[in-house]
Amino acid sequence: MTDTKLRVSKIQSGTVVDHVTAGAALHVLSLLGIDGHDDATVSLGMNVPSDRMGRKDVVKVEGRELSDSELEVLSLIAPEATINIIRDYDVVEKRQVERPDRVTDVLRCPNRDCITNAGEPVQAAFAVLDDGLRCEYCGEIVREDVTDYLQN
C-alpha cells in the first residue's frame, strides 16, 4: 500500500494524524483516551511506507477534532506529526504539532523515588527539552520510551 492510496480512504469528519513515528499509533490513541469503548470510529495505518520518514503510522479518528493541548502532548510522542482536520470529506485545516515548554498531568515520572510517585497530592510536571523531558521535581530526564510513562 502506498502513501497515496492510503489517503484515498477518506473520513467524513474528524482528524487525521499523519506522519506519526512508526509504531507510535497505539500510543497516540492512548494519549487521546481512545480505548475502543467509546463511539469513535478509528482507522490505523501502521508501518506505512513514507517518502519522508521511511515508515510511519497514520491515525484517523471520525467525529473528533483535537484540542490545542492534545496537540501539544502529541508532539512529545510524534514530533513530526501533521494534523488534518476534516469536515465533509475536505481538509479544512492542516497543522503541525508544536512542542510546549512544559507538560503536566500527562506523564508519570519514571523515577520511582520521585516525590510525584509517593502518593502526594501533586501531579508530575515536566519541562520540555530539545531532546527529551525533565521532571520538575526530581530532575529525571526522559529521552527514550516516553510513551511508557503515559498516565492513562
Partner 1 sequence: MRHDHLLTAKQLSRADVETVLDRAAEFDADLEGASDLHAGKLLALCFFEPSTRTKMSFEAAAKRLGGDVVDMGSVESSSVKKGESLADTVRVVEGYADALVLRHPKQGAAKLASDYVDVPVVNAGDGAGHHPSQTLLDLYTIREQAGLEDLSIGIMGDLKYGRTVHSLAHALTNFDVRQHFVSPESLRLPRSVRYDLHEAGAQVREHEELEDVLPNLDVLYVTRIQRERFPDEDEYEAVAGEYRITAETLEAAKDDLAVMHPLPRVDEIAAEVDDSPNATYFEQAHNGVPVRMALLDLLL
27 binds partner 1 (CB under 8 A): no
List Cβ neighbours of 30 (8 Å cut-off, separation of 6 or more).
Answer: 147, 150, 152
Interior angle at CA 94, CA 89 and CA 96, nearest 5: 145
Single out the segment in contact with partner 1 by CB under 8 A; choices: 3-11, 38-46, 86-94, 110-118: 110-118
30 binds partner 1 (CB under 8 A): no
- Choice from 26, 44, 136, 149 touching partner 1 (CB under 8 A): 136
Minimum Å distance from CB 57 to partner 1?
A: 28
3 binds partner 1 (CB under 8 A): no
Query: What does each C-alpha distance from 29 to 21, 58, 67 come to in angstroms?
Result: 13, 11, 14
**CB-CB contact of 73 with 103 (8 Å):** yes
111 binds partner 1 (CB under 8 A): yes
